[in-house]
Structure 1
Amino acid sequence: MSLNKTPTANRLHIAIFGKRNAGKSSLINAITNQNLAIVSGFAGTTTDPVYKAMEILPIGPVVLIDTAGIDDEGELGELRIKKSIDVIKKTDIALIVISSDDGITTFDYEVIDKLKKSETPFIIVINKIDINDLNLKLENEIKSLKVPYIKVSALKKIGIEDLKKVIIKYSPKTFEQPSIVGDLIQPGDTVVLVIPIDTGMPKGRLILPQVQTIRDILDNDAIVHITKERELRLALSNLKQKPKIVITDSQAFMKVSADTPNDILLTSFSILFARYKGDLFKLVKGAKALRDLKPGDKILIAEACTHHQQPDDIGSVKIPRWIRQNIEPDVHFDFYSGRDYPDNLKEYKVVIHCAGCVLNRKEMLSRIEASEVEGIPIINYGVAIVFLHGILDRALKPFPEVYYEWLEN
């Protein structure tokens, strides 16, 4: 991945909902001015959510999500509807496409209700005005909802530019994550990144969180030095200026902590991403659940992406081994990977989640909330690793509010 490409997880996620044949795919083609989505006169052409990352002027980098019709039928149709509704968890702003000759249906109201409950902003798009203009009854019904709406013809490309302006106006201003490390440093500060090169490192490149951290440091006019864990002592001794902070891969934290003087702040990429993508307070609270594990407890290890597992895989091998060695040998682990998220969280004592680098912040927060609703603590890999090695206190010092909260509890 090149540095000048916005990662998918950092793009505005625009999901398009509506009945079959309301014109959702046609709308995507009109917005993008490309034939990205298959258009057909037959209902149900789109069967699963389709994601397309792209640049749309003047909106900028976005992910458009085309969903299956919310009025799909049959047993398979119900599964498609569920997948469409699940998209809300990662949606920054939604477009509800309504055919001008159909009006707002019970299916549309069900989606509207779910969007409101999740506090997801949405726009009603009345399509096919080239066939039937908006009648007064329907317009009054839409106005009673007190939400933005706009009339378009996806086929004739009428109103599309105005729709883009409405999307910009009503998109959440905070859909992008907070700074990764920029709020911890000042212009001119020195930051040292410790990046081990092990069997899990992609050959010839860095992984996404490392690249994003480097970019954030440069955007904040600080100076970055990169080294492997074995060369850290030499790197620190060669610096004329003491670094403001050292950031390491979680797996090397023990050695890096031993080699980094106590007057230098120290944390990990995964802990930085715990607050960048989610809620560091809540993820740190999950450490208490690890501390209180009992024989027979079940633990869910969840990863947002699927990847080829290495013999020393962090999620499936190392973390379970450290838990059995350091806390409780008689525990059971279940493993889950992918963009869907399991519903049976109640059977687990704790969820241990990856850093979520492929998720947008809305989706990661929704996973944290899903655990919270079920009363199941959740912790991410980085927090779990440093806790299991007894150095969570030091890893949290760069974040005073979280640090003192952890010490008090």
Structure 2
Amino acid sequence: MDSTPRGNRLHIAIFGRRNAGKSSLINALTNQDIAVVSHVPGTTTDPVYKAMEILPVGPVVIIDTAGIDDTGQLGELRVQRSLEVLNKADLVLLVMDAGAGLSEFEQDIVSRCQTKKLPVVAVLNKTDQYPVNQQQVDEIKEKLALEPVAVSALTGTGISELKIAIIKAAPPAWDDQTIVGDLLNPGDVAVLVVPIDLAAPKGRLILPQVQTIRDILDHDAMAYVVKERELKECIASLNKKPRIVITDSQAFLKADADTPPDVLLTSFSILFARYKGDLETLVAGAKAIEKLKPGDKVLIAEACTHHRMEDDIGTVKIPRWLRQIVGGDLDFHWCSGHRFPADLSEYKLVVHCGSCMINRREMLSRIMQVQQAGVPIVNYGVCIAYVQGILRRALSPFPVLQEMLDDLD
């Protein structure tokens, strides 16, 4: 993430009146003391650009601006420079002091953003000092046409909800990421292990496989597609070793056995965990599997609805593998499509599908919702690799996550 070009980062501009707590909010969002915080109004002068990462949003550029109510000749110049930031921002956080009320300054910023078609998230800060009342919320809804997110940058209250709001409000292009292309150089070979999926219509591959092939071709690499029993022969027939083998998670053990140790190995589902969600969180959640006990509630969530096969991965195979790990029965619950439980507090683990049918912001929102409930979450590919004892091998394209996994042991 540190090497992500600034142009590929989501640019979030922080606007608000002096002493509304903009800098404190930046520190709360990043969980770092990055911005200078002072009770003296006008501490921030010219716009300050900070490249950083906000989990699970990803790589961003935070633009800290001067107070939009700055006064005097110098203050007017600062405001003008701040307003120029609107030409560079992808999203605006409009920070308001919960104890100060609404003013024409906030209305002006929202009007400018509407003209530029910039998404805005309204933030009511300092709620630890000034409890939010419904009249205040209704006024913001009426005059700004925004649903405010109540937070306290000091205590951290509401910061998770704010991250969800950022994900939902971000423009469509912000999450244009590669599936595997950043792991390949032009001319590299990627071998895709694709068991024939009986659940897929005849003559078609499933969506993640098609998208991965396209991503490989877009990055001027070559894709070989084989069934699991043909992998070893395919690798032996190549003039050079493939850069990576990408397998269906259900063929992990066979692919692991037939892939040379110096060739990267992972699965479509793990790649999509990174592409659509937060792979680091999902890998960390795998450690919760070994802590499960008989009778624990486990949610298996799928983002699509499909015809269930006799040996279905979500309803049959994963439950069977988890029971074997636990040594007893578990209380399984299932949800599919756009339905996702509001109350997750009773679950000990959430196992989510590869999320190929939902966009990244919805998947990240689900991850955040699960985290808020204090529940670990994994996805199918991570779960399968873990229960089969090859998760570290399946993370070979991501050495930082391998190290993280080792640290969790």
TM-score of Structure 1 vs Structure 2, range by shorter chain:
0.5 to 0.7
Secondary structure of the 2:288 match is helix
Q: What is the aligned partner in structure 2 of residue 339 from structure 1?
A: 338
Q: What is the aligned partner in structure 1 of residue 231 from structure 2?
A: 232
Q: How has the CA–CA distance of structure 1 residues 121 and 214 changed in structure 2, closer, same or farther, with 3 Å as cutoff?
A: closer
How far 1:318 moved relative to its partner?
0.4
How far 1:112 moved relative to its partner?
2.5
Contact 1:194–1:246, Cα closer than 8 Å, also in 2:
yes
Q: What is the aligned partner in structure 2 of residue 281 from structure 1?
A: 280
Q: How has the CA–CA distance of structure 1 residues 345 and 232 changed in structure 2, closer, same or farther, with 3 Å as cutoff?
A: same
Q: What is the aligned partner in structure 1 of residue 180 from structure 2?
A: 181
* Identity level (%): 55
How far 1:291 moved relative to its partner?
1.1
Q: Does 1:112 align with 2:147?
A: yes
Q: What is the aligned partner in structure 2 of residue 397 from structure 1?
A: 396
Q: How has the CA–CA distance of structure 1 residues 397 and 95 changed in structure 2, closer, same or farther, with 3 Å as cutoff?
A: closer
Q: Which amino acid aligns with 2:260?
A: P
Contact 2:199–2:307, Cα closer than 8 Å, also in 1:
no
How far 1:325 moved relative to its partner?
1.6
Q: What is the aligned partner in structure 2 of residue 127 from structure 1?
A: none
Q: Which amino acid aligns with 1:269?
A: F
Paired residues, number: 264
Q: Which amino acid aligns with 1:389?
A: Q
Q: Which runs of 4+ in 1 moved over 2 A?
A: 92-96, 104-112, 114-123, 170-173, 198-202
Contact 2:121–2:146, Cα closer than 8 Å, also in 1:
no
Q: What is the aligned partner in structure 2 of residue 258 from structure 1?
A: 257
Task: Please give the per-residue CA displacement for 1:217-252, whole angstroms capped at 9, x wherever unaligned.
Answer: 001100110100011111111111100000000000
Contact 2:294–2:326, Cα closer than 8 Å, also in 1:
no
Q: What is the aligned partner in structure 2 of residue 352 from structure 1?
A: 351
Contact 2:290–2:325, Cα closer than 8 Å, also in 1:
no
Q: Which amino acid aligns with 2:285?
A: G
Q: What is the aligned partner in structure 1 of residue 321 from structure 2?
A: 322
Secondary structure of the 1:174 match is helix
Contact 1:352–1:381, Cα closer than 8 Å, also in 2:
yes
Root mean square deviation, CA, Å: 2.5
Contact 2:167–2:365, Cα closer than 8 Å, also in 1:
no
Contact 1:94–1:122, Cα closer than 8 Å, also in 2:
no
How far 1:408 moved relative to its partner?
1.0
Task: Please give the per-residue CA displacement for 1:379-405, whole angstroms capped at 9, x wherever unaligned.
Answer: 000000010100001001110111110
How far 1:298 moved relative to its partner?
0.6
Q: Which amino acid aligns with 1:396?
A: L
Which sections of structure 2, spanning at least 5 residues, go unmatched?
A: 1-117, 123-137, 151-160
Q: Which amino acid aligns with 1:113?
A: P
How far 1:326 moved relative to its partner?
2.7
Q: What is the aligned partner in structure 1 of residue 371 from structure 2?
A: 372
Question: What's the TM-score, normalizing by structure 2?
Answer: 0.61
Task: Please give the per-residue CA displacement for 1:71-94, whole angstroms capped at 9, x wherever unaligned.
Answer: xxxxxxxxxxxxxxxxxxxxx958
Secondary structure of the 1:345 match is coil
The whole-number CA distance in structure 2 between the counterparts of 1:344 and 1:182 is 37
Q: How has the CA–CA distance of structure 1 residues 385 and 93 changed in structure 2, closer, same or farther, with 3 Å as cutoff?
A: farther
Q: What is the aligned partner in structure 2 of residue 217 from structure 1?
A: 216
Secondary structure of the 2:401 match is helix
Secondary structure of the 2:287 match is helix
The whole-number CA distance in structure 2 between the counterparts of 1:292 and 1:111 is 42
The whole-number CA distance in structure 1 between the counterparts of 2:310 and 2:377 is 25
Q: How has the CA–CA distance of structure 1 residues 317 and 241 changed in structure 2, closer, same or farther, with 3 Å as cutoff?
A: same
Which sections of structure 1, spanning at least 5 residues, go unmatched?
A: 1-91, 97-103, 124-169
The whole-number CA distance in structure 2 between the counterparts of 1:182 and 1:256 is 21
How far 1:173 moved relative to its partner?
5.1
How far 1:200 moved relative to its partner?
2.4
Contact 2:121–2:165, Cα closer than 8 Å, also in 1:
no
How far 1:120 moved relative to its partner?
3.6
Contact 1:94–1:121, Cα closer than 8 Å, also in 2:
no
Q: Which amino acid aligns with 1:171?
A: P
Q: What is the aligned partner in structure 2 of residue 247 from structure 1?
A: 246
Q: How has the CA–CA distance of structure 1 residues 121 and 255 changed in structure 2, closer, same or farther, with 3 Å as cutoff?
A: closer
